[in-house]
Amino acid sequence: MRKKLVELGADKPNAGVPTAGGVYRREIVSVPAIGQGSPRQNIPRGIGVGASKDRQFTDQNCGPENLPYKKETAQHSIVRMRRRSCHFCKCCMRLDPTDNANQGDNGCEYGDICGPANNVVKVPKEKSKTSRITRSQSGVAEHLAMVQKAKEGSLVAAHSKTEPEAWFLGVVTKTAYKPNVTFKGRRGERVIEGEWHLEVRKLEDAVTAPNYYEEVPDSDGLMHVQVNQVVAVDVMAVTKDMRRSAKIDAMGSEWGKLSRKEGRDLLASQYTYLPEAQREYVWLVCPK
């Protein structure tokens, strides 16, 4: 049956040839409830959309607005709605069906069956006691002052539309600055003239074990990160150049939880290790 479906072109939706009915492929993704890889839960709740026919919703928090029927200020979101989710395009896999990160160069190719990728609705949101305020509400000036303290060689955590991770680590190679021209960086990130940026060398997951990182070689890892995308500065990690005592101090209480072999491997590793306490801190300060 599988071979027959492939012959009919069922591996790709709407291939222009007769296809068998029903489910042609199941996409199963394991998503942890908390910690690294988990979705952001602590966001304002929607007042109501009324789109029961749609099956995919992409929510991006925006600034506050004054609702016409309420005196107080409420938050709203731009929500993309589609009839069904697409699991084929690279832009759709990173929840950007219009490929906004690359100025719309390679948007979703299956809008005929998944619905238009640019179908957006402005949804007012209500605040609850469990809602965490966004950075725009807590003070842009304070955040900028914090990022401006990041020195060359320090470690920061940030996020970007062009990167697949919810957040990534980067070593600062150029402190906060304002570019005098708008351009696209080596990793596809958009640099906007006159806005504050950091230049960092990205660290990616090492193949040895979880929570180990290595710098992307040459100029491939250099990228420009907008200040509002930086979530934490002066992140404390265990690097190969640190002394043994400094490594143990950076590990904190986690050092006592390691076995002898894990401890030896950590001290001898050529990669950067992010301790548990620092991982939890980054997740805590990530925008909700």
Per residue in 68-99, pLDDT (tens digit) is 444 455 556 667 678 778 878 888 877 778 88
Place of tokens 């709203």: 76
Per residue in 206-235, pLDDT (tens digit) is 887 889 999 888 888 999 999 989 999 999
What per-residue string of b and e applies to 183-214 under the rule 16 or more CB within 10 Å gives b?
Answer: eebeeebbbeeeebbbbbbbbeebeeeebbbe
Number of helices (H), then strands (E), in the chain:
8, 13
**173-176 CB contacts, 8 Å cutoff, 24+ apart:** 173/199, 173/200, 173/201, 173/222, 174/198, 174/199, 175/148, 175/150, 175/151, 176/144, 176/147, 176/148, 176/150, 176/227
pLDDT bracket for residue 195 (50, 70, 90) = very high
pLDDT bracket for residue 6 (50, 70, 90) = very low
Per residue in 245-264, pLDDT (tens digit) is 999 999 999 999 999 999 99
Phi then psi for residue 122, to 5 deg, are -90, 110
Q: Would you give the end-to-end CA distance of the chain in angstroms?
A: 45
* Residues in contact with 256: Cβ distance below 8 Å, sequence separation at least 6, in sequence order: none
Cβ 246 vs Cβ 223: under 8 Å: no
pTM of the model: 0.54
Per residue in 21-67, pLDDT (tens digit) is 566 677 777 777 666 666 655 444 454 555 556 666 666 545 544 44
Q: Is the model's pLDDT at 10 over the cut of 50?
A: no
Phi and psi based region of residue 146 (left: phi greater than 0; alpha: psi -120 to 50; beta: remaining): alpha
Per residue in 121-160, pLDDT (tens digit) is 666 665 555 555 454 444 678 888 889 999 999 999 999 8
